[in-house]
Amino acid sequence: MSNDSALPIEITVADLDAMRARGDNFVLLDVREASEYETARIEGSKLLPMSEIQQRLSELDEHQQDHIVVQCHHGGRSMQVTQFLRSKGFGKVQNLAGGIDQWSLQIDASVPRY
C-alpha cells in the first residue's frame, strides 16, 4: 500500500484475524482498563488504557511508523484513540470495528464476553 493515508479508519475482526494468520507486522493496542484486560484479551495485545494515553504517548513513539490496530470492548473508545493518534502524526492507525466483543463472537469464542 503506497499511500498510508488511504488506510481505512476501521478494520473488521476478520481483517485482523487474516493479518495475524499472515504474520503481518503490527501493534495491537488495547485501550480498555486493566480490569477489562484481565477479564478478556486478544493474545499479543499491548495494554495502554485510553485514560492514560495522553500521559503515556511517548511509549508509542517508537511505533510512529508502524501499523497500529486499536481495540477496546465494542469499538467506541478505540475509535477515539485512533483519531487521537492520527492527529498526533501516527500515519497507520486503524480501529478494530466491534472490538473484543466481535472478536469473541466471530473469531475466538474462548475469549470471554462481558
Cβ contacts of 6 within 8 Å, gap of 6 or more: none
d(CA 28, CA 98): 14
**φ, ψ at 3 (rounded to 5°):** -105, 100
List the catalytic residue out of 16, 53, 72, 93: 72
- Can you give the C-alpha Rg of the chain in angstroms? 13
Does the active-site annotation cover 72?
yes
Residue 29 CB-half CA count within 13 A: 30
Please answer whether residues 101 and 76 qualify as being in contact, where contact means their C-beta atoms are separated by less than 8 angstroms.
no
List residues with catalytic annotation.
Answer: 72
